[in-house]
Amino acid sequence: MAKKRILTGDRPTGRLHLGHYVGTLANRVRLQDEYECFFIIADLHVLTTRPEKEHLLETHHNARQIVLDYLSLGIDPDKSTIFIQSAIPGTYELNLILEMLISVPRLERVPSIKEMARDARLETLPFGLLGYPVLQAADILLPRAHLVPVAKDNEAHVEVAREAARRFNRLYGQVFPEPQGLIGDVLVGTDGQAKASKSLDNVIYLTDDAATVERKVRGMYTDPQRVRADIPGQVEDNPVFIYHDAFNPDSAEVEDLKARYRRGKVGDVQVKKKLAHAINAFLEPVRERRAHYEAQPGLIEEILYSGNRRMRREAEETMRLVRKAMGLMRVETHFSLPAQNAYSPGLVYC
């Protein structure tokens, strides 16, 4: 029996951080043996908020770093297909078709679109940003994915993909599975004011060294009412304890710290020191694996080359099914050899 499929990925706008791990990366690593996995580096999505050439040129470096992050966390390229979004011609074709199936008022109800425009400091909403969920739906449906691991703030995008699949299947016949979202948590930033975000600089990166982690943890937001260690503190919604729950595997230690914190029997310094130790213990094998893969010339390029080829084949099959279901003709250029021994183009409809 064929495995069901996963599609998820990341925009190459910078390094990945602990928020990405909590949101989707942990689920990707956990499920790569159970599902057939497709991991997209979504460089076309960068155009929606950062269309300037200098940002696009940065995606080349950032994509490479993301693949290293994947490998360092334990994603196996022999089990998972890692590919570049813009390298797949079917992405553009399916996106255009799906644009005809989703209304503007529906897209305007997606809450993250206005948030993305605000975070990017855009004065007006670009057409492409409004259609971001449609392009994301094309990403999801192109490998005919069944499951989409995303953080909770992207749940609405998966619903747009589900609606697109339903509408296409109803109009033209069954081609797409109706994808389900696997919703991960949203990790609060170290400032305690918003979610962990590169643009807000309130994150701990997977590539941070031990000293950087310790510095960032020391500066983490905690209970603002607690000015002395002997004052009972609040554990709930406290970023330091949220990170303990996520990254400290010693649950007995965490529960002891919480109990003492509530009674005013332990200081923030000690709680943060133990958190820094736990995060560094989590990241140390990640750092070691990253150094191992980074030392292999050409490895990342080989992984992306193989992944792009594999995804192109899957995309071609999907678009064949789409065209057949819709009754669309595909026009292909071919060359025939006439008597003059020169090539002349012709058209084949299939």
Which candidate, 15, 91, 14, 13, places its Cα nearest to that of 46?
13
Q: Are 39 and 83 in contact (CB under 8 A)?
A: yes
Which of 25-29, 182-186, 237-241, 252-256 has the weakest average pLDDT? 182-186
* Residue 200 falls inside a structural domain: no
- pLDDT band of 106, cuts 50, 70, 90: very high
Dump pLDDT digits (tens) for 193-236: 888 888 888 999 999 999 999 999 999 999 888 888 889 999 99
Q: Residue holding tokens 């992984």?
A: 303
Specify whether 11 is located in the same domain as 126: yes
Tokens coding 85: 């979004």
Spatial contact of 155 and 112, defined as CB atoms under 8 Å apart = no
Q: What are the tens digits of pLDDT across the range 111-122?
A: 887 777 777 777
Same structural domain, 311 and 182: yes
pTM: 0.87
Count, residues in the chain = 350
For residue 175, the enclosing domain spans 5-188+298-333
Regarding whether 56 and 111 lie in a shared domain, the answer is yes
Same domain, 231 and 318: no
Please count the structural domains in the chain: 2
Residue 43's CATH number: 3.40.50.620
Q: State the Cα angle at 341 between 337 and 342, rounded to 5°.
A: 75
With respect to residue 272, please indicate whether it lies within any of the assigned structural domains: yes
Over residues 77-105, the mean pLDDT reads: 96
E strand intervals along 200-311: none
Residues 275 and 318 in one domain: no
